[in-house]
Chain A
């Protein structure tokens, strides 16, 4: 049967499907990649197969990659990783909203922490931009300072902060509904903080009752050294 919208025959439609399924050998895959570049009807059928079969990828659960991968991407595309000339240089290069929030909420009107070791920063913004959260980790003091901006959690709910390092997901505690908080990081967790990802989830008041996140992720971002 030929789809009314496709000028291709069934053999070509199945071939496009096999390409997306991934079962062909390398030489066949290369030949098809060349055909996609030249034959727009075939390219459209391949794109349709990609959309059709994509729900099969839902069973693959996300896993945070190690931080050096992003550095490799930056080096590969842009040469040296972006130079960050201290805090304000970093602000100039970071995305507008999150950086402005960090500047305004976290540090303006408050001196920088006495820096005894490297500082790490994470700016988390929800998909709709309504919830904004900044975190600054002072490695020397073993302290995470967090700052809430934008919408807080709903009634009877709290935002809980998580540290994600490889496959480990560790609760750092419940966030304040507004303003700032200092969260000391226990000694045995400090080695995990470098290059970790921070995430906040929507939990019942007082945080997840089970110690494992029960609510949806509200926002997440990697910790970056500044």
Chain B
């Protein structure tokens, strides 16, 4: 375990015990990454702010559900944010399309950018590179940008069912590649 992982795991354990000071520290450490995840998925600053507030309320209420044996605490925190933001995204009327995607520019990396970036090996990159390029890009767009099967099938001009079977097969391939 890296120092960062231990620190986050310890903070989460204290938050599960209702330690408000630990929660405040966790917020200052983790909120920039989780805000960026919400903003990237939702493409709307106001909604991302609302989502981030809900995400931290969930973290406070569900911190005891983190399973240290399976994933890192950072991955668990990222997941809480992604699940909430994606649920919001899917709850929107489908009329809000891909056009909005370009309205939020990528921020230039400042010193805060390095704060919770982890330095694990980029095995995922090798595994994505083993997929057909279109499929690897569809996986990335789904995960990072929150695009649905419908949006991806429009973007890649393939029927929705085709897109779904692309991604299901890609996931199985990724799993085989990533499983030690």
Contact = CB atoms under 8 A, between A and B. Distances in A.
User: Which of B49, B111, B140, B148 gathers most chain A CB within 10 Å?
Assistant: B111
B152 A127 contact: no
A61 B111 CA distance: 10
A60 interface: yes
A14 B139 CA distance: 13
Interface string B28-52: 1001110111011100000001001
Interface in B105-143: 106-118, 120, 122-124, 139-140, 142-143
Contacts of A213: 110-111
B44 to A, nearest CB: 14
Nearest to B75: A54
Nearest to B179: A3
A53 B67 CA distance: 16
B35 A59 contact: no
Contacts of A217: 111-112, 114-115
A47 B79 CA distance: 9
B174 A95 contact: no
B90 interface: yes
B21 A56 contact: no
A55 B124 contact: yes
Contacts of A68: 49
A197 B52 contact: no
B87 A26 contact: yes
Contact of A13 (B21, B72, B89, B175): B175
Contact of B149 (A23, A55, A58, A127): A23
Interface of A: 1, 3, 10, 13-14, 17-18, 20-26, 29, 44, 47-66, 68-70, 72-73, 76-78, 82, 93-96, 127-128, 162, 164, 167, 169, 197, 199, 201, 212-213, 216-217, 220-222
12 contacts: A21-B167, A22-B86, A23-B147, A24-B149, A48-B71, A60-B36, A60-B37, A62-B35, A76-B53, A96-B21, A217-B111, A222-B28
